[in-house]
Amino acid sequence: MKKVLGIGFLIWVALVGISGFYFWFSGHKIELAAEKEKASEVAVTASTTGNPKITTNSEHPVRQAQDKPIVKLPKYTGQIINMIGDDPMISQLPASAIAIKRVQLTHLSASLSEDSNDFNSWMALGNFKKFFNNFIGARDAWEYAKIVAPNQPLTYLNLANLYGYYLKEPQKAESNFLTAISIDSQNAYGGLNSIANYYKDFGFKDKAIEFYKKALELNPNDSSLMVEIQRLSE
């Protein structure tokens, strides 16, 4: 019993810490919001099926330099923004912690209603939903973040991990890993190693060896890679 209470207390402390950082970030963001020009007037509404639609008088433009054309974004039609999820683990958390999380999602919903081009808010939304094992909600948020800012490798790495370890879609996991590597080629070694580890974890030995060898080409002196290749080849 003490062990269970201890785990619950640690989870509550972690949630309060996360919420503290979020409210600091939100307050700082509010100060800066007055200096921004609104891209469009956006309203978040839920459809009869529970899926939200962010609607405007026109498609949402991404702010570009004055000498570049404006790119219009599609409407977000993923999981409703302020839905935490229904995983059984949620009922095991303190009610006060859940209440804090709902407030955070309400703030995110308001932020994205004001500016659906807010990349950081989409990333935060995915993190919050994944924390509650709401993997579909996390996927929808990060897939839209990928549309808002297509050259951010972190989005692809998050999705690669989500598709690979939680949604069990290895092809999408590999595709996102490789896209992250192509965007951030300076860190290709780490990305290749991550793909190899993923395939090793799920027993795809041939795939794991393939990517360990690619990583080894970039870092021939890494003896740990040689060990993994040799062990998986036996």
Of 98, 133, 168, the one marking the end of a domain is 133
Number of domains in the chain: 2
How many CB atoms are located within 10 Å of the residue 159 CB? 26
pLDDT tens-digit series, residues 136-156: 999 999 999 999 999 999 999
106 plus 38 within the same structural domain? yes
Q: Which tokens in the block code for residue 12?
A: 């509550």
Residue 25 lies in a domain: yes
Residue 141 lies in a domain: no
178 plus 104 within the same structural domain? no
Q: Which tokens in the block code for residue 204?
A: 């795809």
* Full-model pTM: 0.65
- Residue range of the domain that includes 125: 1-133
Which residue reads 């919001």 in tokens? 33
pLDDT tens-digit series, residues 64-114: 444 444 568 899 999 999 999 999 999 999 999 889 988 999 999 999 999
pLDDT at 5: 40
Which residue reads 């896209």 in tokens? 179
pLDDT tens-digit series, residues 148-190: 999 999 999 999 999 999 999 989 999 999 999 999 888 888 8
7 plus 123 within the same structural domain? yes
30 plus 114 within the same structural domain? yes
Residue 144 lies in a domain: no
